Structure 1
Amino acid sequence: MPSDKSPRGSLGKTLEDARRDAGFQTLSTRLAYSNPWTALREDIIVHPNGKQGLYGIVERGEFVVILPMHADGRITLIRQFRYPVGERLWELPMGMWETKEDVDPIELALGELREETGLRAGEMIHVGSMYQGAGYSNQKGHVFLARNLTRGETELESTEEDITCHDMTLEAFEALIRDGDLKCMVSLAAFALIRAKGLI
């Protein structure tokens, strides 16, 4: 799991330094729960106003989300059942590797795209980074645009066998958003970033 001692931002500050500079003090920290994918840490902190409090932080490894753009302008989405919400969701391909720490984001993006869709990308553009839910988690994500695609076999894990792939026009994708059928926040944010940068 990520460590609070890791560098943060272009200034190279650790999270501990950044919190101290913002007026926060960490009095104690403990690992409340952990499994191979997620850890929950509880910190006793002092807020800038001097009040003491408890902060629960969900720790997860970095993830990638990829928008695959074909030469004819179509994009590839996946659908899969998400157990926590009990719905089958439209999503862009995304994921993290629990068994391999400190993996290069481009390597991870190429691997996740291949595993979930069977697509091989000749060009993988790193568009930017974002936090999945900075109010409760330290998980960081990387947004990619995949181009020069060729199709091969998927390499789905046993827990992903319900995933289906769907090629659609950009207009059809935007209709999913307008109609409220695409509910994945990460996919929406990734698309907005790619669109705002004029890449599609």
Structure 2
Amino acid sequence: MPDVMHEFETVSTELVYDGPIFAVRKDKVTMPGGGTANRDVVEHDGAVAVVAMNPDGAIAMVNQYRHPMGRRMLEIPAGLLDHSGAETPCAAAQRELAEETGLGARDWHVLVDLAPSPGFTDEVVRVFLATDLRYCHIADYQEDEELDMTLEWVQMPDAVQMVLSGEIVNSTSVSAILAATMVMDDDAPLRSAEAPWPCRPTAFAARKGRPVE
């Protein structure tokens, strides 16, 4: 093992693509052997997801079409953070839950923070646990794939079994279901809904000149 850890410095960067949802840049980074290597990075605003659990231990999941995968997938409600930067992460999660399921909740906590693919993107997802559920108005502006989305209630043991059998493969849903199971079994402490989020991505927002709430 080296006595001193290598400092990976970016010596140059090139913007490859700048879109409305993400950007792609190519960084030249110093390597431990003395040379440099190119690293493609997808900049992303980040996202939120929700494990909405009823008193019987069932969670709300949505079945929706995912075009890159070419099929419908069972997932927990989730979506992008608001591009304007005006929403807190918890407010974004509340909005997504209402839009996708017609549900609201009185109790909110941070369940887990996830970096789904840190090898090529700075995207981080904050997952909330929502309890004491209630029905509310579904937004009238659902569009595209959302119009085909269906709500399914899945008991937590069944959800875990679907994860282990490969029926549920969305990485955020897999991690959230297993984390929620630990909370149910061990009554583990949870962070507040407004807990600091130090690993929240900021590069894409800075590129667009937008604030981060």
TM-score (norm 2): 0.78
Check 1:36–1:157 CA distance in 2 against 1; reply closer, same or farther (3 A cut). farther
* Residue 139 of structure 1, CA deviation: 0.7
Q: Which has the higher relative contact order, 1 or 2, with Cα contacts under 8 A spaced 6 or more apart?
A: 2
- Residue of structure 2 aligned with 1:93, choices 77, 95, 112: 77
Q: Which amino acid aligns with 1:115?
A: E
- Residue of structure 2 aligned with 1:65, choices 49, 62, 69: 49
Check 1:22–1:123 CA distance in 2 against 1; reply closer, same or farther (3 A cut). farther
Tell me, yes or no, if the aligned pair for 1:110 and 1:124 is still in contact at 8 Å.
no
Indicate the percent of aligned positions where both proteins have the same amino acid.
27
* Residue 40 of structure 1, CA deviation: 0.5
User: 5+ unaligned residues in a row in structure 1: which ranges?
Assistant: 1-20
Aligned-CA RMSD value: 1.8
For residue 72 of structure 1, give the secondary structure of its aligned residue in structure 2. coil
Equivalent pairs, count? 180
TM-score (norm 1): 0.83
- Residue of structure 2 aligned with 1:157, choices 128, 142, 148: 142
- In structure 1, the partner of 2:129 is 145
- Residue of structure 2 aligned with 1:135, choices 119, 129, 132: 119
Q: Which amino acid aligns with 2:134?
A: T
Q: Kindly indicate whether residue 48 of structure 2 is the aligned counterpart of residue 44 of structure 1.
A: no
Q: Kindly indicate whether residue 168 of structure 2 is the aligned counterpart of residue 167 of structure 1.
A: no
Q: Which amino acid aligns with 1:154?
A: I
Q: Which amino acid aligns with 2:63?
A: R
- In structure 2, the partner of 1:55 is 39
- In structure 1, the partner of 2:7 is 23
Check 1:46–1:178 CA distance in 2 against 1; reply closer, same or farther (3 A cut). closer
- In structure 1, the partner of 2:197 is none
* Residue 179 of structure 1, CA deviation: 2.6
Distance 1:127 1:117 in 2: 19
* Residue 168 of structure 1, CA deviation: 2.3
Larger displacement relative to structure 2 (23-32 or 169-178): 169-178
Tell me, yes or no, if the aligned pair for 1:37 and 1:98 is still in contact at 8 Å.
no
- In structure 2, the partner of 1:9 is none
Check 1:134–1:162 CA distance in 2 against 1; reply closer, same or farther (3 A cut). same
For residue 173 of structure 1, give the secondary structure of its aligned residue in structure 2. helix
* Residue 193 of structure 1, CA deviation: 2.3
Larger displacement relative to structure 2 (188-197 or 66-75): 188-197
Tell me, yes or no, if the aligned pair for 1:39 and 1:58 is still in contact at 8 Å.
yes
* Residue 199 of structure 1, CA deviation: 4.8
For residue 192 of structure 1, give the secondary structure of its aligned residue in structure 2. helix
